[in-house]
């Protein structure tokens, strides 16, 4: 795979880079960001993938979360993909913030016209890791994944559908049961069609109910999050994990909302969580 470096910046003894390549899965040019810690000069390091939420790009977490300082101390490579294909100009692609551009929902679409390009699940779970392993100093045996909101949903689904691949999983305010919330119902209807039984493969709670398992899971949630009740449905995730015997650490934080200020407040805890398992 041909990789183009767009820019690279010294950061806490390592580098923060932005890259572009032509994706076979999406049929488009895709951008992603990678933080490489100073320890990589001596050998391969654990890799931690962050999946961002609605409207985000590969830049949001890299610029706003403040994760590089702790990742540098822990020797973690951070990989941050974009949230959807870009440049397809499909009808209606840019009409709303919660479907189409910036809202790939980390599924492989089956409905026209989305099915040709909107293959973000296969992109983040297969194509991008293969490219990262080829081009960056990462240890493929020590990989974790986490995300925020739509990306929290994506991290859970990717980990559940690939048992044993990810040693560590966590999420900030994930869309825990997209089959049962307006964001998920809109996205799944458009990308996957009207057969709700097919949606279960893309819903973390349904996957757990259907027998898929995770290692220990950390979830942080702000209690002033405007989306908590209608969109996130964390009570369903809590119930599913208890029934399945999945160790869940669900931390509720008074006063915090859905923003990157919340993520920045607890990102060091998540990096420590992953480092302990990687």
Catalytic residues: 149, 225, 258
Q: Which residues pair with 3 in a beta bridge?
A: 21
Number of C-alpha atoms within 13 angstroms, CB side, residue 176?
A: 28
How do strand 77-81 and strand 45-51 relate by DSSP bridges? parallel
Q: In what order do the strands lie in the sheet with 248-253?
A: 3-11, 14-22, 29-36, 77-81, 45-51, 138-148, 168-172, 217-222, 248-253
Of 174, 146, 186, nearest to 47 by C-alpha is 146
DSSP 80-96: EE-SS--S---TTTTSB
3-state secondary structure of 129: helix
Please name the residues in contact with 73: beta carbons below 8 A apart, sequence gap of 6 or more.
none
């Amino acid at each position: 795979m041909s990789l183009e470096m767009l820019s690279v910046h010294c950061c806490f003894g390592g580098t923060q880079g932005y890259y572009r390549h032509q994706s076979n899965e999406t049929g488009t040019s895709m951008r992603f960001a990678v933080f490489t810690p100073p320890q990589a000069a001596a050998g391969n390091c654990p890799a931690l993938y962050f999946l961002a939420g609605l409207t985000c790009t590969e830049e949001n977490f890299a610029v706003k979360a403040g994760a590089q300082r702790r990742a540098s101390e822990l020797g973690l490579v951070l990989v941050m993909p974009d949230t959807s294909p870009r440049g397809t100009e499909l009808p209606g692609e840019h009409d709303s913030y919660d479907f189409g551009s910036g809202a790939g929902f980390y599924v492989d679409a089956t409905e026209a016209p989305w099915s040709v390009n909107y293959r973000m699940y296969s992109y983040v779970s297969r194509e991008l890791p293969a490219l990262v392993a080829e081009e960056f100093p990462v240890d493929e045996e020590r990989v974790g994944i986490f995300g925020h909101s739509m990306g929290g949903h994506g991290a859970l689904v990717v980990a559940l559908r690939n048992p044993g691949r990810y040693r560590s999983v966590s999420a900030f305010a994930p869309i825990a049961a997209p089959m049962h919330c307006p964001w998920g119902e809109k996205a799944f209807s458009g990308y996957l069609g009207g057969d709700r039984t097919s949606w279960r493969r893309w819903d973390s709670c349904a996957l757990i109910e259907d027998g898929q398992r995770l290692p220990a899971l950390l979830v942080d949630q702000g209690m002033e999050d405007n989306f908590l009740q209608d969109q996130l449905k964390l009570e369903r995730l809590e119930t599913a994990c208890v029934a399945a015997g999945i160790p869940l650490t669900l931390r509720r934080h008074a006063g915090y909302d859905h923003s990157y200020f919340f993520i920045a407040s607890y990102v060091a805890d998540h990096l420590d969580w992953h480092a302990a398992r990687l």
